[in-house]
Amino acid sequence: MSETPAEQPGAAPPPPDSEPPETFAARLSARYRIGGIVAPLITTVVAFLAGGIVVGATGHNPLSTYRAIFNGTGLNWLFPWVSGADRVDAAINLQQTLIQTTPLILTGLAVAFAFRCGMFNIGGQGQYLVGAYVAIFVGSSWAHLAGPAHVFLAVALAALAGAVWGGIAGFLKATTGAHEVISTIMLNWVAIWVGDYFFGLSGPFQGPDQFNPISNTVADSAKLPVFWGDPELQGLHVGIFIALGALVVFWVILNRTTIGYEVRAVGFNPSAAEYGGISVKKNYFRAMAISGMFAGCAGAMDILGWEFNLSTPAIHASSIGFIGVAVALLGRNTAIGTFLGALLFGALYVGTSTRQLDATVFDPQLASNLTLIIQGLVVLFVGADLLIIGIWQWRKRVRLRTRQPAG
């Protein structure tokens, strides 16, 4: 991270008429932008190819597998020639994909925001979970509130809880220098086990069923309204708009506010920022709190949007926060990149689920693990931008060399 600060594209959509395209700086930034799109693209293609090799090596057909996964995601809804019953199915599948994309955008932003301040927030999972706990508590117990106020309070307090959980790591880094990677990993597991205690058998927030470790169910007034599809069949809730709004908020904070300026300055070079009068410690805390806010909000989206309650096995199995790391890395910590990364991983998650994938083509249990393999490869290759950039430049050099004798 620290090695290549200049390659982080400053803003997702570049200001259109800020500089004439002829200057050296503009050409340079254009090259970085191309590299910025190309590297994640190559990474994704390589990861899918490697995943295909695993599928092929274990005696399945990779092409039909990927085709079935693609149809399971519902992205074929976008093709105009899909019609009739297929189209109805595709719509339902696409709703599921977008339901998963919603929290992934937010946990992706949680990682990306801290990244821009030079920190690696692996704690998205813990921040997501404490947000979910608070959303359940507020959503199930303050039932006398009117609908909009109830939803608003539940989301706001969940985001606040996430901010506190992330802020602890930021505070520790600012005051004692404790590395945020270690403290956020520890906070993840504390959040998981505290949730296990809260909603487990005879726990303080266990639901009415005393033989199952499941929380109370969120009241109707706190549920996010469904705007596409049947609410009974888990249609798409309005949380997707909150997530899209968060992308805008992320971009505006980073690029149009003093807070964002300071955060980016610290991310580029903490000593220079300190010398320029920016408090590095304050920004460590602030960036982690804002990161946590995004992740906590993601927890609220899942709880108020479609889950409505939480069981302890679900707490242990949840990985939305961890996938957020892959989303942000693939999206190069920009708003648009995070959106595309979240869509990719949301689609993969849904496309390989037991409910969506055609089991006659490929076993969904295998497929969900294939998703993890692809995620792992994506993160592995994204981390090695030296490799990708090396290949990119080598290709160019080869092209130059082959052209030179002719000219």
In the complex, the residues that contact another protein under the rule CB under 8 A are 1, 3, 54, 58, 120, 122, 172, 176-179, 181-183, 185-187, 189-190, 192-194, 196-197, 200-204, 316, 322, 325-326, 329, 363, 365-366, 368-380, 382-387
Give alpha helix (H) positions in 200-278: 239-256, 258-268, 270-275
CB 198 within 8 A of CB 204: yes
| Cβ distance to another protein smaller for residue 92 or 320 | 320
- Residue 136's contacts (CB-CB under 8 Å, 6 or more residues apart) are 205, 215, 216, 218, 303, 309, 310
Q: Residue 227 pairs with which residues in a beta bridge? A: none
| Cβ distance to another protein smaller for residue 73 or 206 | 206
Amino acid identity of residue 261, one-letter, is Y
| Cβ distance to another protein smaller for residue 154 or 172 | 172
| Cβ distance to another protein smaller for residue 38 or 372 | 372
Q: What is the DSSP letter of 329?
A: H
In the complex, least distance from residue 329 CB atom to another protein, rounded to whole angstroms? 6
| Cβ distance to another protein smaller for residue 140 or 375 | 375
In the complex, least distance from residue 115 CB atom to another protein, rounded to whole angstroms? 10
Tell me whether strands 236-237 and 226-228 are parallel, antiparallel or unpaired.
antiparallel
| Cβ distance to another protein smaller for residue 66 or 251 | 66
Q: How far apart are CA 109 and CA 338, in angstroms?
A: 7
In the complex, least distance from residue 294 CB atom to another protein, rounded to whole angstroms? 19
In the complex, least distance from residue 318 CB atom to another protein, rounded to whole angstroms? 12
| Cβ distance to another protein smaller for residue 75 or 372 | 372
| Cβ distance to another protein smaller for residue 110 or 222 | 110
For residue 115, the Cα-to-chain-centroid distance in whole angstroms is: 13
In the complex, least distance from residue 325 CB atom to another protein, rounded to whole angstroms? 6
Q: How far apart are CA 122 and CA 110, in angstroms?
A: 9
What letters, b where the CB count within 10 A reaches 16 and e where it falls short, cover 328-348? bbbbbbbbbbbbbbbbbbbbb
In the complex, least distance from residue 334 CB atom to another protein, rounded to whole angstroms? 17
Phi-psi category of 177—alpha, beta or left, where left has phi over 0 and alpha has psi -120 to 50?
left
| Cβ distance to another protein smaller for residue 1 or 149 | 1
In the block, tokens 């200001």 appear at 15
- Of 57, 59, 39, nearest to 47 by C-alpha is 39
In the complex, least distance from residue 130 CB atom to another protein, rounded to whole angstroms? 13
In the complex, least distance from residue 89 CB atom to another protein, rounded to whole angstroms? 26
| 194-201 contacts at long range (C-beta below 8 A, 24 or more positions apart) | 194/133, 195/129, 195/132, 195/133, 195/310, 195/312, 195/315, 196/312, 196/315, 196/316, 198/133, 199/310, 199/311, 199/312, 199/315, 200/312
Q: How far apart are CA 323 and CA 346, in angstroms?
A: 9
In the complex, least distance from residue 26 CB atom to another protein, rounded to whole angstroms? 29
